[in-house]
A and B are shown apart, each in its own frame.
Chain A
Amino acid sequence: MKTFSKIYVALIILFLYAPVAVMVFFSFNSGGSVWIFESFSFDWYKGILFDTAMMEGLKHTIIIAILSASAATVLGTAAAVGILALRRKIFRSFATTVTNIPMMNADIVTGVSLMLLFVFFGRMIGLSESLGFITVLIAHITFNLPYVILSVIPKLNQTDKNLHEAALDLGCTPVQAFFKVVIPSIKTGIFTGFIMSFTLSLDDFVISYFTCGHYQTLPVVIYNMTKKTVKPDVYALSTLVFVVIFVLLILYNTVQTKSEQRRTLNA
């Protein structure tokens, strides 16, 4: 049983990583094919640095990810606090519904519905090209918000309600109490929400595809490249992204494990 389960887990991991391995492998191909390997080279890695479309896309993606994650974090944290304070059932269920819709709905529906809004509104104010930086940013903030809210709310629920009162009791105004006491106690939730937003935003293709117009993010650039035959340069870029994320994740994880160990030692 033990060996069976180990083999099973290993097979699943193999399945998950086979395409990744293929991608990494062919990114070093000197030839232009992604399934016939000629010889080892770094040419495609050098090539992507000079590929302006890709570099533009990368820049756009990072800008959108940073801005949308930050905006969603601020707006979403405030929303989480506010939603928990809502007393009327009708407001609460409205908040629950609008939070769930973007998470439950298919990305394609979210994407096209936002596009329709932007196009319609753009026509109304007489714009010929209504899609671009602003619209893709709005779209990303919109789909990031629920993730921030849902990672902050559990932290707020865990927080001792008396903390806020204790701060008031010691002379803080309600606003001071919020920043001095409540924010520090939910900061891990806020951080998780930011990281989730950031990665979702980096990764998003479908919604960006429908809302970005000429402000193409990297996944949209890649999509347009894979419409034609793919050359290993896309693989090279993805390998780089993969390595960066891998390193970040390992770092994040060791930091977290360390701080957890410290906490258990102290307790």
Chain B
Amino acid sequence: MNKKSFGSRLVAAPYLVWASIFVIVPLVMMAYFAFTDSSGVFTLSNITQIGKYKKAFLVSILYAVAATAITLLISYPMAYFMTKMKVSSQRMVMIIVMLPMWMNFLIRTYSWISILANTGIINTFLKSIGLKPLHLINTPGAVILGMVYDFIPYMILPIYSVMSKIDNSLLEAAADLGSNAFSRLRRVIIPLSMPGVISGITMVFVPSVSTFYISQKLGGNKNWLIGDAIEYLFGAGPEYYNVASAISLILMILILLCLAVMSRFSGDEEGGVIV
């Protein structure tokens, strides 16, 4: 209808081309590798081989679910308490929570070895007060702890930002209509903070289920996750690319399924981020 908006529509073109080549094509490529053998012939054998990695898949999902649940349980009260602070302290605490995110997560994870190792800080302390040392490192618990630690800011921040936008007059209205603190939490705060919870869950679950560093450092070689399998196979050479692609593809589908389930909970269909 008018030329000016035609021109401004065109400026999206470079991005759309870029995204097609570097977002869509790679995924197509991954699917192509997943369904061919190393000479490029169609095969289903990569997919059928995935049975070998069933345990890694199950363990990954289990750990990620546990880590996500624990993170949520810890973060929700944290976010709630943050909203009750003075505005200036809120900003302070938010920076404090965000700051570790800017540190290399490899190092953050690695530091836990110093704390958890058999001769590490906790056990040195236990020994010094005459207690028996605990076996902490290279356990499932250590891996889950690492996930919780690395990704907890991604849970706290979205919940906090949604919660802090809840209009206080809503709570006053609820109180005015006779609801006590508990029912206000259950009927007003929790439902209204759901979008933050959902985005927190996805932001913790996705990196947890696909991690490979945390498990290598804190889980030893007993807690092999699906991310480790992918990293190992891609590192092992081009002849393993096809199987590795198949596993990656399945992982992606798994994540997409989880996100789809999540977005049904949050009730916004079109991934409401853009509009």
Contacts and interface: CB of A to CB of B under 8 A. Distances in A.
Contacts of B14: 75, 78-79
Contacts of A91: 16
Nearest to B150: A19
B44 interface: no
Given A108-B248, A109-B210, A114 B110 contact: no
Interface residues of B, number: 89
B12 A86 contact: yes
A259 interface: no
Given A101-B27, A245-B102, 18 more contacts: A6-B81, A34-B114, A35-B120, A76-B15, A78-B11, A82-B12, A98-B23, A98-B24, A100-B274, A104-B259, A113-B30, A119-B238, A142-B18, A150-B274, A174-B7, A219-B104, A250-B95, A253-B91
Contacts of B115: 18-19, 22, 35
Contact of A145 (B19, B93, B108): B19
Contacts of B101: 203
B165 interface: no
Contact of B107 (A83, A153, A238): A238
A53 interface: no
B103 A241 contact: yes
A174 to B, nearest CB: 5
18 contacts: A13-B96, A34-B114, A35-B124, A78-B14, A82-B9, A97-B271, A100-B271, A104-B255, A105-B206, A108-B230, A108-B251, A113-B30, A113-B248, A139-B22, A142-B19, A142-B22, A145-B19, A203-B104
Contacts of A17: 100
A149 B274 CA distance: 9
Interface in A68-120: 75-76, 78-79, 81-83, 85-87, 91-110, 112-117, 119-120
A124 to B, nearest CB: 12
A223 interface: yes
- Chain A CB within 10 Å, residue with most, of B7, B101, B231, B252: B252
Contact of A16 (B96, B210, B227): B96
B149 A19 contact: yes
Nearest to A249: B95
Interface in A16-56: 16-20, 22-23, 26, 34-36
B20 interface: yes
A179 interface: no
B16 to A, nearest CB: 6
Given A35-B117, A145-B15, A113 B238 contact: no
A105 B255 contact: yes
A117 B29 contact: yes
